[in-house]
Amino acid sequence: MATAAIAIGYGTLAGLVFAPPDYQQGDAFRIVYVHAPAAWLSLFSYTTMALAGAIALIWRIKVGFAVAAATAPIGASFTLLALVTGSLWGRPMWGTYWAWDPRLTSELILLFLYVGVMSLRPAFEDPARGDRAAALLAIVGVVNVPIIHYSVLWWNSLHQGPTVAKLGKPSMDPSMLWPLLSMFLGFMLFYGAVLCIRLRGEVLNRERQAHWVREAV
Amino acid sequence: MNGGFWSMGGYARFVWPCFGFALAILIWNLWSARRFLAASQVRTARVLMMAAGRRS
């Protein structure tokens, strides 16, 4: 968590103070320092949730359901952050807060999928059935992840194309790129730390009747 | 930190809310995760105490 705070602190300071304004977008481009890491995390978290759900369903490894349950609220919050910051970036750049653009629409669907997964689990009286249903929805919904990622290439989109994750050289100047990479690292470390805290809670909730919990607590 | 920095080249009303909301999301994540863990620990301790009471 301390490393995450340092990376986010450096990224924020360097992104807001030391990085030069963009020659086209001016200082509004600085929104990228929270928008891009949040959007990346929204996809990473969903993929983690779907993979954990698949592992739990296929190999019957119970901790997979716990990981999927723990990652869902974190991913949902970062999806909301990506949508809100994207909207605030869109207003000065595109002249509107929202457009039914492929990238924006598929990201909004991702938020609905997160909400669906989180709502489905407690909707069943039997928690095991709820876990299985939520995992199944997460796996079905993972088809949306490549759609979000490639939407700017597959369709005509208001959203700009890939800037950092390009094969070859990123099209950003290093003075802008390093703070962004630091923010990516900080957000990922923060996600890992929060996931561990939530996972401890999930495991305790699910296994409190188990013998090993009695011995461990 | 001069006025130019805070005005963000005229984009202050878009840039600062983004960073403010990001900070709020980070704080909420940490707070809710810790609260969730604390509640789980309390519930587990309660179950274990009840189990110990039944045994004695």
Per-residue pLDDT of A86-136, as tens digits, reads: 999 999 888 889 889 888 999 999 999 999 999 999 999 889 999 999 999
Instruction: Encode pLDDT of A33-81 as tens digits.
Output: 999 999 999 999 999 999 999 999 999 898 999 999 999 999 999 999 9
Taking residue A138's Cβ as centre, other Cβ atoms within 10 Å add up to: 27
* pLDDT for the residue B1: 56
Distance CA A96, CA A98 (A): 5
Q: What pTM value is reported for the model?
A: 0.90
**DSSP-derived secondary structure letter, A61:** -
**Residue A171, phi then psi, degrees to nearest 5:** -90, 25
* Confidence at residue A67, expressed as pLDDT on a 0 to 100 scale: 96
Cα-trace Rg, chain B: 23
**pLDDT at site B9:** 85
Mean pLDDT to the nearest integer, B18-37: 96
Question: Percent of chain A, pLDDT > 90?
Answer: 59
Quote the mean pLDDT of chain A. 89
User: In B, which residues are within 8 Å of A78 by CB distance?
Assistant: 25
User: Which chain A positions have a beta carbon within 8 Å of B45's beta carbon?
Assistant: 217
Residue B56 distance to chain A (closest CA, Å): 16
- Tell me the HSE value of A37 on the side-chain side, using a 13 A CA sphere: 30
